[in-house]
Structure 1
Amino acid sequence: MAKGAILAGLSLRFRILLFFVLLALGGLAVMLGALWVGYRSALSDGIANGFLLAGIIGGFGFLGLAVGIWLLFDENVAKPIQALSTTLRARAHSGVNATVDTHSARYLGDLAPAVEAVSTRLSNATIDIAQTVAQETETLSSDRDQLTALLTEIPVAILLVGPDHRIVLYDGQAAGTLAQIAPPRLNASIFDYLCKERVLDAHERLMQEGAEVAFEAACPDGRVSFDARLKPLRGTHSYMILIDDAHAEIAPDAERPLTFDFELLGDQPISDLAARRLDQIPFVVFDCETTGLLPHKDELVQLGAVRVLRGEIVHGESMDRFIHPGRPIPPASTKVHHITDAMVASAPPPKSIVAEFHHFARDAVIVAHNAPFDMAFMHRHGNEMEIDWPQPILDTVLLSAVLFGTTEKHTLDALCERLDVVIPEHLRHTGLGDAQATAEVLCRMLPMLAARGHTTLGDVLEQTRKHGRLLDDMN
């Protein structure tokens, strides 16, 4: 106990000095030992053999001493400092209430308590700011509820489209209408849902007349059509698409949830996705459950996906689909993801869901945990349907290596624990549950990446390429 108290009282500078003292004393001991053995050998085998033996013993002795000192320094200084810096970054940039591991940093003198003090002060400041934000958010939420109640009385479905023809806002009824064509999503081109020629023709008349224009809208393949109206948004180049209740199937007094991001109106389009800032990039995070671990022969049984925009999960924009694998699900796989043959008996085949996901992920960066495994299924079915996946792929395993180093654990559970993300037990190993958890992990890592100077997608991709070996080993 007294020894521990004495060690705890040593300063960090004195501890580092001890490493060099140990190196010096160890080197002196190795040199004297080598000379003594060499001297004994010289007496019996000659001077040359004595010098040679002394050199060999001295060389290996110094090498072993250097390795031993390095291991001590790495375990007691380098690793704890790296862990402290990771904790600080997580608290500072992601709002994670990470605990400072003072035990592993016990040989760093006053550094760990100082970090704990700064972290506590930062957490308290964050709590104060969060309370202020919560009050303002409550006011905005009340305003939003009033707007939702007002929209309930209007018998039309509403879409707000920006000047670049990308969706900025849609209500629940518009989402239901779009869902007949493909999963709705913010920042998507309206031409992904409606025939481009018809929309552009109506838009041209809208610009010429400056008044509401009626037109017949239809999806690109013509299987869904309905009457709609284009209405100009005063003072902007944006416009609204209105669909009356006869086509939107609006239930009376139904809730009208809104999905929107008005900042999209001010975004300047950037053709080079790699040059975009991380907070300007739409991400689609997905996860698959399968019949086994061999992508070339096993099959999909579930796919879950969510969208992330401006570092936040877009609520309401998700996929959660069971898939009929065309074969029995092995009991060992069911034990992991709890999906049975009965649950997928009436589900669509893999190609149908892969095609739907392909549309859902259009114009977005695809993200997954251990992405090569999940993307192998997408590529296999995509090749059969002659669809490709041109967008960049981000892997949260590699992002973890960039932020926390290759020596840390990079499983999804480890990341969630490190970044204070909770996965409900009943959602673990489900497509949507794991996709949601991976998305929350991504949202916490994006500001940490930006704080390290990796502010664009190109920067991040360049960093992840340095750790590609991790995925090779994992798979």
Structure 2
Amino acid sequence: MGGMTRHGPTRRTLRLAFLALAAVVLAAVGGAVWLVADAGLLRDAAGAPAVPALVVLALAFAALTGLWACWGVLASHFADLERLRAGVLVASVSRDGRLPPPRDRAAGPDEVARLREAVETLVLRRLFPSAGPDERLTAVLATLDEAILVVTEQGQVSLVNAAARALLGDEPVRVGSSVFAALERDDLLDAMAHAHAEPGGAVDATLPGVDGRRWPARICELTGHGGYVVRLTATPVGGPRLRVVAEDGAVHHDLSLHDALPEAAADDATPLFDLPALVFDCESTGLDVRADRIVSMGGVRVHGTRIFHIANIDRLVNPGVPIPPRSSAIHGITDELARDAPPFPEVWPALEPLLRGAVLVGHNIGFDLALLRRECSLAGLTPPAPPTLDTLLLAGLLFPDMTDLSLEALAERLGVDIHGRHTALGDALVTAELYVRLLPLLDSAGIATLAEARAFTGRATALRARQRAMGW
């Protein structure tokens, strides 16, 4: 993983030792040549050179080359150890406790690989010590042939069983994704509102899917936990009962998605591990922040290293202008998709509360903030001016060996799943995972507060110059 490392005394001592040894070798060879020459042993009886000077130089060169090769092996070894150290820091904040992939996946087992395996085993055992009640409950739910979804109040999937994945597809109801990729938004929100209003907290409804099928369903409020349980029958309206088959019979879940967001406000002295942030991304009609418009917005709140999926925004926006085909080819949003979406002023009330008291975080966040401020100005709203942290600048400084700082490259480096890329919320979720993995690396580099992190990004002069040239 490398990057901003502070070399320990062992590495510095070895480097000095090798330099000293090289100096000793040079001095010894030079001294030996001088002594032998002074004694006349380098010449034969006729006075001709007995040992060519090139041979002496070759011996000296071979000795120095051997020392340099040894140092190269040791330096590579230390680089692997440093990458492992950084990987352990990243694993300490990742949800699955796994280390990022090694630098050379094809390399055979060696002492670093064995150490990595032992560390990962220790981390996993500490984080997931044994099968508990959650695992047993999961096994019970896996036996049901009724499709079951648990969603947050904002529509994020927090639990899905095999039957639901078989009916609606693995990707649309992936844990952490928006259920509105599988079921029509307005109909499900209406059913959830009716369930909330009912004394028993449950209603029966018919829910249209985005594929046109209609599902008889029962929606039950998850009282006290900010969400709903959606149960679907395997018989769509007007169709035959479907055979529920899933390759993976497991129940997928992350019920921490229902955790409430702490109330906090950021200032310069706020520690990064306590920092409230909104990780934000928007898709647009183009890259000109002076002329282009927002077509979708996605964001998720983060507090320190915790991602609060319950506090998110995922909205299409009608830009009021045609969307160029070259932009649609990237994010998939066409004029037809955006036609019925609300304009920016109607979406702003859903975004503004998420911005309050938070630092705005993103990959090239200056671009997103410039578009956001322009949309507010066009709508007669006060443009936001939150403090920002740019994950591209942070990563560029932490990993000076990386020439590709795209989300995909950084996700591979840090072991982040990149499902859902090139949607606003998908990019925001990937960026949030990257951001929380950067925090322990920043802390290891002595950067502990918001003020220190912002000052740190100011050192990325070349990257900042490129961003300013783009207009943000």
Query: Shorter-chain TM-score: which interval?
Result: 0.5 to 0.7
What's 1:435 paired with?
428
What's 2:388 paired with?
393
What's 2:43 paired with?
none
What's 2:87 paired with?
90
What's 2:232 paired with?
none
User: C-alpha separation between the residues in 2 aligned to 1:423 and 1:386?
Assistant: 34
CA contact (8 A) 2:421 2:427 kept: yes
Q: Residue 221 of structure 2: SS of its match in structure 1?
A: coil
| 1:15–1:447 distance in 2 versus 1, CA, 3 Å | closer
Q: Residue 375 of structure 2: SS of its match in structure 1?
A: helix
User: C-alpha separation between the residues in 2 aligned to 1:134 and 1:451?
Assistant: 33
What's 2:9 paired with?
none
Match of 1:282 among 254, 266, 276: 276
What's 1:409 paired with?
404
TM-aligned CA deviation for residue 403 of structure 1? 2.5
Bigger Cα displacement from structure 2, 289-298 vs 378-387: 378-387
Match of 1:471 among 429, 449, 464: 464
TM-aligned CA deviation for residue 85 of structure 1? 1.5
Task: Read off the aligned partner of 1:433 and give its amino acid letter.
Answer: G
| 1:14–1:86 distance in 2 versus 1, CA, 3 Å | closer
TM-aligned CA deviation for residue 338 of structure 1? 1.4
Task: Read off the aligned partner of 2:354 and give its amino acid letter.
Answer: F
Task: Read off the aligned partner of 1:392 and give its amino acid letter.
Answer: P
TM-aligned CA deviation for residue 369 of structure 1? 0.5
Match of 1:315 among 291, 294, 309: 309
Task: Read off the aligned partner of 2:332 and give its amino acid letter.
Answer: H
What's 1:151 paired with?
none
Task: Read off the aligned partner of 2:102 and give its amino acid letter.
Answer: V
What's 2:115 paired with?
118
The 5-angstrom pairing of residues 251-270 of structure 1 reads 251=203, 254-257=219-222, 258-259=225-226, 264=262
CA contact (8 A) 1:288 1:302 kept: yes
Match of 1:345 among 339, 348, 351: 339
TM-score by length of 2: 0.56
TM-aligned CA deviation for residue 452 of structure 1? 3.4
The 5-angstrom pairing of residues 28-43 of structure 1 reads none
| 1:291–1:81 distance in 2 versus 1, CA, 3 Å | farther
TM-aligned CA deviation for residue 337 of structure 1? 1.2
The 5-angstrom pairing of residues 54-453 of structure 1 reads 81-82=78-79, 84-94=81-91, 95-101=97-103, 113-132=110-129, 135=132, 138=135, 172=153, 245=197, 251=203, 254-257=219-222, 258-259=225-226, 264=262, 273-384=267-378, 385-405=380-400, 407-424=402-419, 427-453=420-446
CA contact (8 A) 1:283 1:366 kept: yes
CA contact (8 A) 2:261 2:308 kept: no
User: C-alpha separation between the residues in 1 aligned to 2:391 and 2:368?
Assistant: 13
Task: Read off the aligned partner of 2:197 and give its amino acid letter.
Answer: D
Task: Read off the aligned partner of 1:428 and give its amino acid letter.
Answer: R
User: C-alpha separation between the residues in 1 aligned to 2:20 and 2:341?
Assistant: 64
| 1:279–1:92 distance in 2 versus 1, CA, 3 Å | closer
User: C-alpha separation between the residues in 1 aligned to 2:342 and 2:309?
Assistant: 25
- Percent sequence identity over matched residues? 29
Task: Read off the aligned partner of 1:128 and give its amino acid letter.
Answer: R
| 1:140–1:104 distance in 2 versus 1, CA, 3 Å | closer
Match of 2:453 among 452, 460, 465: 460
User: C-alpha separation between the residues in 1 aligned to 2:302 and 2:416?
Assistant: 16
Task: Read off the aligned partner of 2:360 and give its amino acid letter.
Answer: I
CA contact (8 A) 1:370 1:396 kept: yes
CA contact (8 A) 2:278 2:300 kept: yes
| 1:279–1:124 distance in 2 versus 1, CA, 3 Å | same
| 1:117–1:20 distance in 2 versus 1, CA, 3 Å | same
Aligned length: 318
CA contact (8 A) 1:288 1:431 kept: yes
Q: Which runs of 5+ in 2 are unaligned?
A: 1-12, 31-67, 92-96, 140-151, 157-195, 205-217, 227-257
TM-aligned CA deviation for residue 125 of structure 1? 0.7
What's 1:208 paired with?
none
User: C-alpha separation between the residues in 1 aligned to 2:291 and 2:260?
Assistant: 45
User: C-alpha separation between the residues in 2 aligned to 1:288 and 1:472?
Assistant: 22
| 1:386–1:423 distance in 2 versus 1, CA, 3 Å | same
Q: Residue 320 of structure 1: SS of its match in structure 2?
A: strand
| 1:315–1:356 distance in 2 versus 1, CA, 3 Å | closer
TM-aligned CA deviation for residue 84 of structure 1? 4.4
User: C-alpha separation between the residues in 1 aligned to 2:370 and 2:70?
Assistant: 42
Task: Read off the aligned partner of 2:400 and give its amino acid letter.
Answer: G
| 1:348–1:399 distance in 2 versus 1, CA, 3 Å | same
Task: Read off the aligned partner of 1:423 and give its amino acid letter.
Answer: I
CA contact (8 A) 1:306 1:436 kept: yes
User: C-alpha separation between the residues in 1 aligned to 2:220 and 2:111?
Assistant: 51
TM-aligned CA deviation for residue 364 of structure 1? 1.3
Task: Read off the aligned partner of 1:422 and give its amino acid letter.
Answer: D
What's 2:145 paired with?
none
Q: Which runs of 5+ in 1 are unaligned?
A: 1-11, 30-70, 107-111, 143-170, 176-243
TM-aligned CA deviation for residue 458 of structure 1? 2.2
TM-score by length of 1: 0.56
Q: Residue 410 of structure 2: SS of its match in structure 1?
A: helix
User: C-alpha separation between the residues in 1 aligned to 2:428 and 2:395?
Assistant: 16
TM-aligned CA deviation for residue 347 of structure 1? 1.0
CA contact (8 A) 1:285 1:308 kept: yes
CA contact (8 A) 1:88 1:119 kept: no
Q: Residue 274 of structure 1: SS of its match in structure 2?
A: coil
TM-aligned CA deviation for residue 318 of structure 1? 1.6
User: C-alpha separation between the residues in 2 aligned to 1:87 and 1:451?
Assistant: 13
Task: Read off the aligned partner of 2:407 and give its amino acid letter.
Answer: L
Q: Residue 435 of structure 2: SS of its match in structure 1?
A: helix
Q: Which structure has the highest helix share of the two?
A: 1
CA contact (8 A) 2:313 2:350 kept: no
Q: Deviations over 1:42-84 (max 9, x none)?
A: xxxxxxxxxxxxxxxxxxxxxxxxxxxxx99999876874564
Bigger Cα displacement from structure 2, 404-413 vs 311-320: 404-413
Q: Deviations over 1:111-161 (max 9, x none)?
A: x9443332221011122223317637658999xxxxxxxxxxxxxxxxxxx
